[in-house]
Structure 1
């Protein structure tokens, strides 16, 4: 596979940005916070319509952050590095552990178009009929619907925080007309927010949407710039299978060299070459069991 050479600097300058009156406003009442969240979501909607944004990669990176937040909610010590290791260094027959399972749930939820079947794949411990019931529990405007889905889920299953947050993000995505779950809520909600109900919960959701939209814009701009550079250097690669490897880096948070479609030594050389070119980064800081990503 070949990639055209482009200078994406001008394109990146046109990425939509949340205006300062959204990011700097300090409001407390439900109506005003709802208005700000709507403005933030409108800008995200424009961002997700861009072809130059690496959408799958962005969702993977947001899924990792959501998983980290959920693991912290549960009181476990694992953070980003441990979550990556738990999933990407798994050997056949190994189990990822509770934190790894949380990460896998978020990854699976975000990688396929929104549907009850896809949500069932992400949440295999739940009955599909229960997933469908909770997923349909919300109504009204997108953020209100998402809050109602989380409330319905946690009312019936108070310890099902990960499923509740995944279903809430799925309901938000469907209500907004997005094809995929975009993990937004978990990273900006506090654990205490999950115990709120009614208007208090909606207020927490509106605030979380504003905060997450701002951060998502920042992450998207960074990944879009990095992805553009990776595409620009791809024609310099001579290794057989390098094009498929580049495609993998453009869609996944991190990759172990052993997962690339090349012999082990060639895969390691390709990763080193891409690091030298500034196209990918080594994410662990280790000399062995390394993971690489954009």
Structure 2
């Protein structure tokens, strides 16, 4: 397979016959989603891709899509704020709970217990039934079966249905962690479909999701390489641990950089990384700032 040269890093890009094809028949749509998944599988096994950070960034996108499914106005910036400054005992609100579900789902290897942690309203036995019941067929068909099964029992639980479908897809593909593809690409109208129409929608969503995931992987690989490049210049005590936090998190509040010993030192550290072009300030605010690769 040949790939177009990438303009800003060494990651191979999806071939244009996947990204620009206009597939009409179910067979063509399924073929393209399979080709896209194969490409992503290769990308996810590359050492230069910051896997944890990529999953975190895609989880934010999936939570943003969940807000659209629910008809809520919160977007990525509000979701980040909803959870970044939580104190013990605080409630993140409905939007923050959805984002926390996606974050928890991608933090640990796929298992019933990990998914119950992400979706505490669901009993572990019920989660196991849905996952086990999808055990027949190809990966995307299994994921679509989970969407349909969950929404049959819980018609309003769009987040749970799509999150469990992405977990099923990961299991079927042999991936250790959930990677949000259906979560960021299935449309609200798709969730009203069933049977063959739902499977076709899932195949289309997979191709769209992989295109976004590989774009994010390329961008984050370049940004992570820059952060690693400047890391030796950082003389602050605890800098190595702080850099590791950035390489694993979508957004970081200075207060989360506990290895730097003080909030003032953490803020100066973040500003230094911005000046070096290694991270970005994500909020545009003068206070309560968040930073990310």
TM-score computed with the length of structure 2 as normaliser:
0.95
Which of these residues, 60, 63, 66, is aligned with residue 67 of structure 1? Answer: 63
CA contact (8 A) 2:110 2:176 kept: yes
SS of residue paired to 2:208: helix
Distance 1:62 1:213 in 2: 11
Give the secondary structure class of the aligned counterpart of 2:179: coil
Which residue of 1 is the match for residue 3 of structure 2?
Answer: none
Asked whether the equivalents of residues 109 and 176 of structure 2 are also in contact (C-alpha less than 8 Å), the reply is yes
Distance 1:224 1:136, change over 3 A: same
Match for residue 157 of structure 1 among 141, 154, 158:
154
Q: Provide the alpha-carbon RMSD of the alignment.
A: 1.1
CA distance in 2 between counterparts of 1:246 and 1:184 reads 27
Q: 1:233 aligns with which of 227, 230, 233?
A: 230
Answering whether residue 142 of structure 2 is matched by residue 148 of structure 1, we say: no
The answer as to whether partners of 1:37 and 1:210 remain within 8 angstroms in 2 is yes
Structure 2 gap segments, 5+ residues each: 1-5
| Partner-residue secondary structure (3-state), 2:115 | helix
- Paired residue total: 284
C-alpha distance in structure 1 between counterparts of 2:207 and 2:272, whole Å: 39
Q: What is the CA-CA distance between 1:36 and the residue it aligns to?
A: 0.4
**Do 1:53 and 1:220's aligned partners in 2 also have CA atoms closer than 8 Å?**
yes
Post-superposition CA distance 1:145-200 (Å, at most 9, x none)? 00001111111111111111010000000100100000001221111100111100
Question: 1 CA distance for matches of 2:245 and 2:91?
Answer: 24
For 1:150 and 1:231, the matched residues in 2 are separated by 40
Deviation at 1:13, TM superposition (A): 4.2
Structure 1, residues 77-131: CA drift from partner, whole Å, max 9, x if none?
1101100000001122210000000000000001110011110110111111111
**Deviation per residue, 1:196-232 (Å, 9 max, x gap):** 1110001000000111111111110000000000000
Q: Give the TM-score, by structure 1 length.
A: 0.95
- The structure 1 segments of at least 4 consecutive aligned residues displaced by more than 3 Å after TM superposition are none
Q: Distance in 1 between matches of 2:85 and 2:23?
A: 45
1:8-19 matched pairs, under 5 angstroms: 13-19=9-15
Match of 2:97 in 1: 101
Task: Name the CA distance, whole Å, in 1 between partners of 2:26 and 2:106.
Answer: 29
2:153, 2:283 → 1: CA distance?
Answer: 40
Select 1:209's aligned residue among 189, 206, 209.
Answer: 206
Q: Is the 8 A contact 2:9 2:218 kept in 1?
A: no
CA distance in 2, matches of 1:243, 1:27: 47
Question: Is 1:136–1:149's contact at 8 Å kept on the other side of the alignment?
Answer: no
Query: 1:181 is matched with which residue?
Result: 178
Q: What aligned pairs does 1:1-294 form with structure 2 within 5 A after superposition?
A: 13-138=9-134, 139-261=136-258, 262=260, 263-294=262-293
Between the aligned partners of 1:278 and 1:229, the Cα distance in structure 2 is 8
Distance, in Å, in 2 between the alignment partners of 1:265 and 1:239 is: 12
